[in-house]
Amino acid sequence: MSFLTLTNLSKFYGTQCAVDKVNLSVEKGEFVTLLGPSGCGKTTTLQMMAGFVEASEGDIFLDGQNITHKAPNTRGLGIVFQSYALFPHMTVAQNLSFGLEMRSMAKAERVQRVASALALVHLSDLAQRYPRELSGGQRQRVALARALVIEPPVLLLDEPLSNLDAKLREEMQFELRQIQRKVGTTTIMVTHDQTEAMSLSDRVVVMQAGRVTQIDKPYALYENPQTPFISTFVGKANLLHGQVKNHEGDCCIDMQGLKLPVAGGVWAEGQTLMVSVRPEKIQCAAPGTGRLEGTVKARFFLGSQWLYQIETALGLLTVTCANNESLPLHEGQITGLDWSDAAMRVLP
């Protein structure tokens, strides 16, 4: 059995199903993220793991023990809340020491544990400051240290970076991952930010309307989305529609005269299919070349790349190109568009 297992975990509020039969197995030391839009059930799932919300159905096993109905304070889990929930009247060191005191730990060991945890998050010099005297990033690290100081079997992170500005959030992503790898604590994180999920996780659990729709490693999830929702929620995607045309043993999808080869399944003649193509997989080419051509309707400069919206016979396509020595396209300019067969993903 895996270190942490959710079996048919469900939560109902009256007749409304917030979480529907979630099954998940997490190995010891693994970093797993629950990813999805607001209202998809990811936070409720995390709160059931923590014991703050009672499960309506299913079981939660931790290291072989059923903890489904255990009180939160007996589960021994470390939790970092979105708001950090630091005690404002306590210093940084006192915030960290509080949980150890509740466990009746000897003072000498408490002092040593607190010092080690503060060193881990690079806050040893701020031990005597109060939360109000810290920056957002520093408060986030204090909350993380407070969760880790009790040496929990599982660390639960509820949108831990959402209150930080963009630059600090990116910095904290790397720091959080480094700390988790160094400590080796099994970690479950909830976020709606796909960049956080992809950069931090060993595996990502995509949730939609209370259900798990795909569990995969970040690269596999991005390259092989299993639903139209995932293809557009995890990154950007152009969704193209067409009908299957079988000719002399070859299967292709006909999109208003543009015939594209299709692989990965047995498709019936005339069946409607949806194909996903990532914006960065499409290359701009000279007019009249490539698979089709279009007119640049809008362009956006994103620093490292240009994002174009290009009107084509297949509709409006999004294309991203690296900001390199090539001259950018201008609005109104006609361009050819091309992509490889391998860039296409057939969606159910």
**Crossing angle (nearest 10°) for helices 92-102 and 107-120:** 130
Residue 291 · residue 277 · CB < 8 Å: no
User: Residue 210's CB: how many other CB atoms inside 10 A?
Assistant: 22
Residue identified by tokens 């970076």 is 161
Say what the pTM is: 0.90
Beta strands 203-208 and 31-35, pairing class? parallel
Residue 213 · residue 35 · CB < 8 Å: no
Residue 251 backbone phi and psi in degrees, to 5: -110, 130
- Arithmetic mean of pLDDT over the chain: 92
- The pLDDT score that the predictor gives to residue 263 is 67
Residue 228 · residue 276 · CB < 8 Å: yes
Confidence of residue 15 (pLDDT cuts 50, 70, 90): very high
Residue 201 has pLDDT above 90, yes or no: yes
Confidence of residue 247 (pLDDT cuts 50, 70, 90): low
> Which residues, 6 or more positions from 249, have their beta carbon under 8 angstroms from its beta carbon?
none
Cα 302 from Cα 229, distance rounded (Å) = 24
pLDDT tens digits for 220-246?
999 999 999 999 999 999 999 888 887
Beta strands 283-285 and 334-338, pairing class? antiparallel
Tokens of residue 64, six digits: 């072989």
Confidence of residue 124 (pLDDT cuts 50, 70, 90): very high
Residue 346 has pLDDT above 90, yes or no: no
The C-alpha R_g of the chain, in whole angstroms, comes to 25
pLDDT tens digits for 54-66?
999 999 999 999 9
pLDDT tens digits for 65-101?
999 999 998 999 999 988 888 999 999 999 999 989 9
The letter for the amino acid at 326 is S
Residue 248 has pLDDT above 70, yes or no: no
Cα 291 from Cα 296, distance rounded (Å) = 16
The CA-CA-CA angle for residues 31, 36, 38, to 5°, reads 130
- The pLDDT score that the predictor gives to residue 260 is 80
Cα 158 from Cα 192, distance rounded (Å) = 10
Element at 312 (helix H, strand E): strand 305-312
DSSP label of 328? P
What structural domains does the chain harbor? 4-232 (3.40.50.300), 236-347 (2.40.50.140)
Residue 187 has pLDDT above 70, yes or no: yes
pLDDT tens digits for 32-48?
999 999 999 999 999 99
Cα 206 from Cα 217, distance rounded (Å) = 11
Check the CA dihedral 101-105-108-114 and report its sign: negative
- The pLDDT score that the predictor gives to residue 295 is 97
- The pLDDT score that the predictor gives to residue 261 is 80
Residue 341 backbone phi and psi in degrees, to 5: -60, -35
What's the residue count for the chain? 348
Closest CA to 59 of 50, 68, 47: 68
User: DSSP assignment of 230-252, as one string?
Assistant: HHHHSS--EEEEEEEEEETTEEE
The letter for the amino acid at 160 is P
